[in-house]
Amino acid sequence: MKKLNIDTNVYLYPMPVVLVGAIVQGKPNFMTVGWVSRVNFKPPMIAVSINKAHYTSQGIRETGAFSVNIPGKTMVKLTDYCGLVSGRKVDKGMLFEIFYGELQGAPMITECPLNMECKLVDSIDLPSNELFIGEITGAYCGEQFMTNDNPDIKKIDPFVLSMPDNSYWGIGEFVAKAWNVGKEFKK
Amino acid sequence: MKKLNIDTNVYLYPMPVVLVGAIVQGKPNFMTVGWVSRVNFKPPMIAVSINKAHYTSQGIRETGAFSVNIPGKTMVKLTDYCGLVSGRKVDKGMLFEIFYGELQGAPMITECPLNMECKLVDSIDLPSNELFIGEITGAYCGEQFMTNDNPDIKKIDPFVLSMPDNSYWGIGEFVAKAWNVGKEFKK
């Protein structure tokens, strides 16, 4: 067992990749985020952790809303680009077709298979990052990405991120049913 | 664009799968968690969201520490089992070979390729869940899961979770380099 250098080398394997949307200074902006997790069951909540200095953080604070959009693999180049440039310099709202649900502060991306609009309910001030906790007040999925009225991961075709090798990976083969395959250990 | 029922159908695609370790009433216990994310860059922090009533939550509160262990695909059955049964009824510490780093409250699993010990720094009380934020104070990786002194996702061979279809999936093919493939959009 090798002890790792936690300053450079501690990461969760693998991480989901999402585009977080916000209205900053009156204009829609999108940023790539890998630090994201569901955090509450009922009501449904999701949290995203963003560097405090980022343009997107400013927008979430201003409007009290944000969106979480899950891109498919076909969007990998544009998704990566949204993590390379700041909304301070580039109008990233121009890159996508945008739609809105009920929250004016949560611009969503039509091209992304799955979209959630979130009302900010709490914000945790951490040393370098701010953790924004949002209640998911609406969720949307293109019908072409659904099977039997449920989002279908094979059709969504998302990708995940590994660090520090900084690589995106597709979703592989089916492994097992969750809350099921472990039943054989039950006595 | 179809509006989803957010009570049953709003999920992040896909989610990582980890085993969270804690000492509860003096004994090591492990629980399967899919709601986990890095949340701060320096110092490195990670957050896990757990139902407040869970046995593991009690242990984290008691000791102020927990561990995050990333299982490989070969461990899928045992990992799933740890999400099916409560430590109140089953001694899940018996299921693994356990080692410790510097925190007595953070039992780690030798069989898991990647392990992090975490000191609780904050706890956010949400309606049904508690969000535990831990500073990663140590991280460990079996040398057989590393390449050039870095954890290697191909050797770790982790799996991810999708809901509501409740399925585990492997990691697929390499898609692109992150913070790189989007450069072609830069003008």
Name, in order, each residue with C-beta under 8 angstroms of B114's C-beta and a sequence gap of 6 or more: A13, B69, B70, B139, B140, B141, B145, B151, B156
Peptide bond into A14 cis (omega under 30): yes
Amino acid, res. B43: P
Can you list the residues of chain A whose pLDDT is less than 70?
8-11, 187
CA distances from A64 to A47, A75, A121, B57, B173 (A): 13, 27, 8, 29, 38
Q: What are phi and psi of A21, to 5 degrees?
A: -105, 145
Look at B170 and A166 and tell me if their CB atoms are within 8 Å: no
Among residues 8-27 of chain A, which lie with CB inside 8 Å of chain B? 9-16, 18
Helices (H), B64-111: 76-84
- This prediction has a pTM of 0.95
- Chain B contact present for A187, CB below 8 A: no
- Mean per-residue pLDDT for B138-164? 92
Q: Give the nearest partner residue to B164 out of A80, A150, A172, using CB atoms.
A: A150
Name, in order, each residue with C-beta under 8 angstroms of A168's C-beta and a sequence gap of 6 or more: A17, A76, A80, A159, A160, A161, B174, B175, B176, B177, B178, B181
- Chain B contact present for A31, CB below 8 A: no
- Chain B contact present for A77, CB below 8 A: yes
In this predicted structure, what is the pLDDT of residue B10?
63
CA nearest A129 in B: which residue? Answer: B40
**CA of A56, closest CA in chain B: separation in Å?**
16
CA nearest B169 in A: which residue? Answer: A174
**CA of B10, closest CA in chain A: separation in Å?**
6
Report how many Cβ contacts below 8 Å link chain A to chain B: 333
Chain B residues touching residue A68 (CB < 8 angstroms): 12
Q: Give the nearest partner residue to A178 out of B4, B80, B180, using CB atoms.
A: B80
CA distances from A149 to B2, B3, B4, B164 (A): 9, 10, 8, 11
Residue pLDDT, tens place only, B10-44? 667 899 999 999 999 999 999 999 999 999 999 99
Q: Give the nearest partner residue to A40 out of B40, B129, B139, using CB atoms.
A: B129
Q: Give the nearest partner residue to A38 out of B35, B42, B46, using CB atoms.
A: B35
In this predicted structure, what is the pLDDT of residue B163?
87
| CA nearest neighbour of A58 among A24, A30, A85 | A24
Asked if ipTM goes beyond 0.85, one says: yes
The separation between CA A178 and the C-alpha centre of its own chain, rounded to angstroms, equals 22
In this predicted structure, what is the pLDDT of residue A35?
96
Look at A129 and B40 and tell me if their CB atoms are within 8 Å: yes
Amino acid, res. B11: Y
Helices (H), chain B: 55-63, 76-84, 153-156
Look at B158 and A13 and tell me if their CB atoms are within 8 Å: yes
Look at B172 and A173 and tell me if their CB atoms are within 8 Å: yes
Chain B residues touching residue A51 (CB < 8 angstroms): 41
| CA nearest neighbour of B24 among B112, B96, B92, B122 | B92
Could you give the dihedral angle defined by the CA atoms of residues A122, A159, B66 and B19, in that order, rounded to the nearest 10 degrees?
130
Peptide bond into B43 cis (omega under 30): yes
What value, to the nearest 5°, has the Cα angle with vertex A130 and ends B3 and A161?
65
Q: Which residues pair with B67 in a beta bridge?
A: B21, B117
Report the C-alpha gap between B121 and B64 in whole angstroms.
8
Report the C-alpha gap between A43 and B46 in whole angstroms.
22
Here the tokens at position A127 are: 């040393």
Look at A16 and B13 and tell me if their CB atoms are within 8 Å: yes
pLDDT classification of B9: cutoffs 50, 70, 90: low
- Mean per-residue pLDDT for B65-87? 96
- Say if residues B123 and B133 touch (Cβ distance below 8 Å): yes
Q: What is the mean pLDDT of chain B?
A: 94
Report the C-alpha gap between B187 and A25 in whole angstroms.
24
